[in-house]
Amino acid sequence: MLAGMSQWLTLSRAAHLLGISRVTLQKRIRDGELRSFDGMVAADDLQRTWPELNLEDSGSFEKTRAIREDAFARRLRERVLPTQEALAQRLFAQGQELAELQRTLTRYHTLFEALRARLGVVPAPTADELARLLDEGLASALAAPAPPADVAALDAMLRIMSAHVTVKPSGREFFVEGSETLLKAALRAGLAPNYGCGNGVCGLCKARVVSGEARAVAAFDYRFSEAEKAQNHVLMCACTAHSSDVVLELLEADVPADVPEQRVVAKVRKVEALNGEVMRLHLQTPRSNRLRFLAGQRVTLGVTGLAGGSDLHAEYPVASCPCDDRNLIFHLCRTDRRLASADFSQAVLDGRIKAGDDVSVWGPWGSFVLEKDSARPLVFIAIDEGFAPINSLIEHAIAVDAAESIMLYWASSRPGGQYLPNQCRAWDEALDEFSYRPLALDDLAAALAANTALPASGVYLAGAAERVEPLAKSLLAAGMPPQQLHIEAL
Ligand code: FES
């Protein structure tokens, strides 16, 4: 009955529409600002809570429009179809008409339910009473004021521009923007699907289309067996969603052991100084040979035949997110105390390893990854360059949008040691659920002791071993459950 009186949207679709996180919506539901029914949220409440919502202000719409504009062939756009703007306007107008029709149907449905309820009450209504109820009901239904702006029309529009995919058996969800591939969209949303070449050759990204439709947007060499064809298998790296809702069955990595060891030759794209101490090394893998890893993991970097004929290799945490598997970022420190990596870091810093050079990447290693499907608040503690794996974890946590709050402490052993302060402040300002606290290393223990939410949180601590290990001991001694404390000692 409740579901019939209003339009309802899934939480993920409403969050996508508003360009906010699901946890923000969940908080509004808990606070009683939004009605929720069976995992859905009322469109009327969204409209009332965000009255300024409109098509032009929707970040999702802007992004989708940009992707669509890129994807359209220029000639087709100019000679055959109206302009993108005209199409968007017409689609929006049609969405409004559809939404008005849906509202009218909802009002008639409510009237019908009221009449049926009356017919079930003894004594049965007379013909006069029925006529009166009908007249009053129709008058009230037709007089119902329309909402000032239209969530439903915008939702209808976005259903055309971006498809919603549900994954089985995990139940995770993601949106496919424009004609991007299912694989790219899944990685962007923080999922860890099984895949290999990313290029239509290996077949590892096979998924079964349970419902809806997916179509190829790129050529592929992999040949499906007759059984795979009969079961509706597609390659995620070559297909996009064709219908607005798709259900896929696919393999996902749940733990680090699910990700195979790989060896990739990448190129140095850029070496960038972040401050006097830290450099950012950008590597790019070939299109056909990307690195699959989980956020927070490490890899080994190696170069051969440097000046003087020497070979170097060293292990570093990947500082970037697995959602961009071609562009790998590492933070290298001038004062790296780790013997194994000091020589490699020095070679980058003094220009012996430079843009255009080949670097072997193998891995991934380590189990400093987010707890799968945990909804616990997240607390990240980075000490100096321990920020590198924390950066990867935070980007991933934001993408999967599962934690109700994210707290970042970044402690530095030297003044100004937080070498990416603007990025951390931007997270803090842009995300309701994110808080950032830079501090001196000497103040860290007291700040953690004052955080009463710590024992109920998932805590991720990274930095030099001699700093991380004593801090971990003191957290455990203070009652932190060991299974909730994750440590990366560099
Ligand atoms: S990842 Fe190899 S075919 Fe898709």
DSSP letters, 200-243, are SSS-TTEEEEEES-EEESS-------HHHHHTTEEETTTEEE-S
* Rounded percentage of the chain residues whose pLDDT exceeds 70: 85
Is residue 357 in a domain? yes
Task: Band the pLDDT of 56: cuts 50, 70, 90.
Answer: very low
Q: What's the pLDDT tens digit per position in 293-325? A: 999 999 999 998 777 668 888 999 999 999 888
Ligand 1 midpoint to CA 297 (Å) = 22
Task: Band the pLDDT of 437: cuts 50, 70, 90.
Answer: very high
Taking residues 246-262, what's their average pLDDT? 93
- Indicate whether 243 and 267 sit together in one domain: no
289 lines ligand 1 (CB under 6 A): no
Residue 337: give the domain boundaries. Answer: 261-365
pLDDT of residue 48: 78
Ligand 1 midpoint to CA 289 (Å) = 10
Ligand 1 midpoint to CA 202 (Å) = 5
The atom of ligand 1 lying closest to the CA of 202 is 2
- Indicate whether 123 and 7 sit together in one domain: yes
Ligand 1 midpoint to CA 203 (Å) = 5
216 lines ligand 1 (CB under 6 A): no
- Indicate whether 38 and 110 sit together in one domain: yes
Cis preceding-peptide flag for 317 (omega within 30 of 0):
no
pLDDT of residue 81: 58
196 lines ligand 1 (CB under 6 A): yes
Task: Band the pLDDT of 1: cuts 50, 70, 90.
Answer: very low
Task: Band the pLDDT of 162: cuts 50, 70, 90.
Answer: confident
- Among 330, 365, 400, the domain boundary falls at 365
- Contact between 383 and 443 (Cβ < 8 Å): no
Residue nearest to atom 1 of ligand 1 (CA): 198
What domain count does the chain have? 4
Ligand 1 midpoint to CA 12 (Å) = 27
pLDDT of residue 69: 55
168 pLDDT above the threshold of 70: yes
222 lines ligand 1 (CB under 6 A): yes
pLDDT of residue 9: 79
- Indicate whether 239 and 273 sit together in one domain: no
- Among 94, 122, 156, the domain boundary falls at 156
Pocket test for ligand 1, best of 182, 217, 237, 240 (most atoms within 8 A of CB): 237
Is residue 309 in a domain? yes
Is residue 281 in a domain? yes
80 pLDDT above the threshold of 90: no
Task: Band the pLDDT of 288: cuts 50, 70, 90.
Answer: confident
CATH number, domain of 343, equals 2.40.30.10
Is residue 373 in a domain? no
H/E segment holding residue 287: none
Q: Are strands 239-241 and 214-216 parallel, antiparallel or unpaired?
A: antiparallel
64 pLDDT above the threshold of 50: no
How many Cα atoms occupy the beta-carbon half-sphere of 243 within 13 Å?
A: 12
Q: What share of the chain is helix, strand, coil (3-state, %, to 5)?
A: 40, 25, 35
Residue whose structure tokens are 């103040």: 443
- Indicate whether 115 and 12 sit together in one domain: yes
Q: Are strands 434-440 and 378-383 parallel, antiparallel or unpaired?
A: unpaired
pLDDT of residue 87: 66
- Indicate whether 421 and 343 sit together in one domain: no
Task: Band the pLDDT of 123: cuts 50, 70, 90.
Answer: confident
- Indicate whether 266 and 245 sit together in one domain: no
H/E segment holding residue 431: none
- Positions of E strands within 59-113: none
- Among 208, 223, 249, the domain boundary falls at 249
Is residue 86 in a domain? yes
The better pLDDT of the pair 81, 254 is held by 254
The better pLDDT of the pair 61, 343 is held by 343
- Indicate whether 403 and 268 sit together in one domain: no
pLDDT of residue 2: 38
pLDDT of residue 244: 84
- Positions of E strands within 274-342: 278-284, 298-303, 312-317, 327-333
Residue 168: C-alpha distances to residues 221, 239, 309, 393 (Å): 26, 18, 51, 24
Whole-angstrom Cα Rg for the chain? 27
- Indicate whether 277 and 328 sit together in one domain: yes
Is residue 255 in a domain? no
H/E segment holding residue 437: strand 434-440
Record the tokens describing residue 163, joined without a space: 């498809």
The better pLDDT of the pair 354, 139 is held by 354
Ligand 1 midpoint to CA 172 (Å) = 21
CATH number, domain of 386, equals 3.40.50.80
End-to-end Cα spacing for the chain: 57
What predicted TM-score, i.e. pTM, was given to this entire model? 0.75
Q: Nearest-5° angle of CA 20, CA 156, CA 149?
A: 70
Q: Are strands 327-333 and 312-317 parallel, antiparallel or unpaired?
A: unpaired
Say which amino acid occupies 321.
C
Lowest mean pLDDT, pick from 20-29, 150-159, 312-321:
150-159
CATH number, domain of 232, equals 3.10.20.30
pLDDT of residue 252: 92
Task: Band the pLDDT of 349: cuts 50, 70, 90.
Answer: confident
pLDDT of residue 343: 83
373-389: b (≥16 Cβ within 10 Å) or e = eeebbbbbbbbbbbbbb
Ligand 1 midpoint to CA 183 (Å) = 9
Is residue 407 in a domain? yes
379 pLDDT above the threshold of 70: yes
Q: Nearest-5° angle of CA 48, CA 50, CA 51?
A: 65
Is residue 15 in a domain? yes
pLDDT of residue 148: 46
Taking residues 97-108, what's their average pLDDT? 77
- Indicate whether 44 and 148 sit together in one domain: yes
- Indicate whether 152 and 7 sit together in one domain: yes
- Indicate whether 9 and 147 sit together in one domain: yes
